[in-house]
Amino acid sequence: MASAAALIAGAMNGIAGGGSFVSFPALVLVGVPPISANATNNAAMWVGTLGSARGFREEIAAQRAILLPIAAVSAVGAVLGALLLLVTPPTLFERMIPWLLLFATIVFTLSPWLVGRKPQTPRHSSWQFAVQFCVAVYGGYFGAGMGILMLAVLAFSGLPNINAANGVKNVLSVVINGVALVPFALARIVSWPYAVPMAVMALLGGYFSARLFRRLHPSVGRAVVITIGFGMTAVFFLR
């Protein structure tokens, strides 16, 4: 059950994010305690995001110049979020999830009209670094729906299309999940018997969904992301 959920989660993360909404509950349902389930899910989804990033390798190579600064900010935020998880329950973030998702999906949907004229060269504004730091803290702490939040931020970076944004988003996810995994592993709260098979399935789902998604027309890709975003928002408001 958990491995099947990881395959679906990896595919979702490769496209838009939100895979943890599938994989995290699956771990809880098979008996993994919530905090351990969060860390175990992080380990599996980190491998999945490696596959997703590989699937968008052409787009990532083209945007390499803007990756390092925002990846560094993401790493610092992820460490803080992971350390917070080790000392506090994720209750607050669970309550915030539907509102965060609703806001991010609306911003992403309206971004073509909000952005105005795109810069000649893709770049991140100061406010984007600040917001991305907060997203990374959330990602290290809980992370469900993190991809949608990052796509909303990246919509203002002047990237050429949704595939480029997805490539950058997946690299940042690799950084956030990878950095957060270190304190989780040191604290010995990762359930490796579940994490390893889930990681393999998430890797497959992430890679093949990314390769498929980049073949879609950008307008179709945007529609898929928006649909996933509003769908996840509705599910969590109903919960």
- DSSP letters for 55-123: HTHHHHHHTGGGHHHHHHHHHHHHHHHHHHHHHS-THHHHHHHHHHHHHHHHHHHHHHHHH-SPPSS--
What's the rounded mean pLDDT across residues 74-95?
A: 82
Does residue 58 or residue 29 have the better pLDDT? 58
pLDDT at position 90: 64
Q: Is the distance from CB of 194 to CB of 6 less than 8 angstroms?
A: no
- Give the pLDDT confidence of 155-206 residue by residue, as tens digits: 888 888 888 888 999 999 999 989 988 888 898 989 999 999 999 999 999 8
pLDDT at position 38: 82
Residue type, 120: Q
pLDDT at position 195: 92
CA distance 136 to 98: 17
Hey, where are the domains in the chain?
A: 2-238
Q: Is 62 exposed, middle or buried (0-12, 13-18, 19+ CB in 10 A)?
A: middle
DSSP 19: T
CA distance 93 to 90: 5
Q: How confident is the model at residue 118 (pLDDT cuts 50, 70, 90)?
A: low
- CA nearest to 22, candidates 14, 10, 33: 10
Q: Is the pLDDT of residue 97 over 80?
A: no
